[in-house]
Every structure is written in structure tokens, then in C-alpha cells.
Amino acid sequence: MKNSYLGKRIRGGGYAIKGAWILLKTEPSIQVQAIISIVVCIAGFYFNITKTEWIFQVLAIGIVLSTEGLNSSIEGIADFVHPDFHSKIGYIKDVAAGAVLFAALTAVVIACFIYLPYIFPTLFS
């Protein structure tokens, strides 16, 4: 079973769970995003958002958390390969951080589309 197709998939899933746990334990940016995600989900229950709104919200949360994780990985690899300052490493890390910014701004726009009509119903009626 250990080297079977299913065994390898189960083991791979375990590595993924371990990686997600490591991210949540060690990366402050992921911790902040996870807290924001929880707050937004609480807001979703409070405002009783629609199924479609939940889909967009969960998708936005997943994209932001995934991008943050990839950014952390890229930074870790860059620091491992070249621990001292180097302009190309700085460029790589800046671009990865920029990707997180795009994801986060997209999530904010989605949140505005979802929640502003609930918060200010007279403006959107």
C-alpha cells in the first residue's frame, strides 16, 4: 500500500497539510490573511450572503492564501540560493510580493461588490 498509487496520493496529501500548517505557524503574512479570512466569513454568515457570493469569497480567499504561500516559498528559495543582498534576488522577491498585492486587491474589490450593498442598501437599491 505504501508505494501504491493511492498510498503515494495519501502521503502527498499529508505533506500538503504539513506545509499548510507550517505556513500558518511561521508566516506572519499568512496569519494576518487567515484572520482576515475568518472575519470575512463571519461577515458572510452575518449578512447571509448568497451562494454565488460565497463562491466568489471563498475563491478570493483561496487565491490570496495560495499566492501568499507561493510568495513565502519564493522568498525562502531566493534567500537559500543567495543569502546576501543581490539586486536580482530583490527583483524576484519584489515581483512575488507584487503578485500577492494583485491577489489581495482583487479580493478587496470582490469584498466591496459583495458587502457594500448589504452595508449601504439605500445606495445600491
User: Residue type at 83?
Assistant: P
Per-residue pLDDT of the chain (125 residues), as tens digits, is: 778 998 889 889 999 999 999 999 999 999 999 999 999 999 999 999 999 999 999 999 999 999 999 999 999 999 999 999 999 999 999 999 999 999 999 999 999 999 999 999 999 87
d(C-alpha 111, C-alpha 11), whole Å: 36
d(C-alpha 108, C-alpha 33), whole Å: 12
d(C-alpha 71, C-alpha 75), whole Å: 6
pTM to 2 decimal places: 0.90
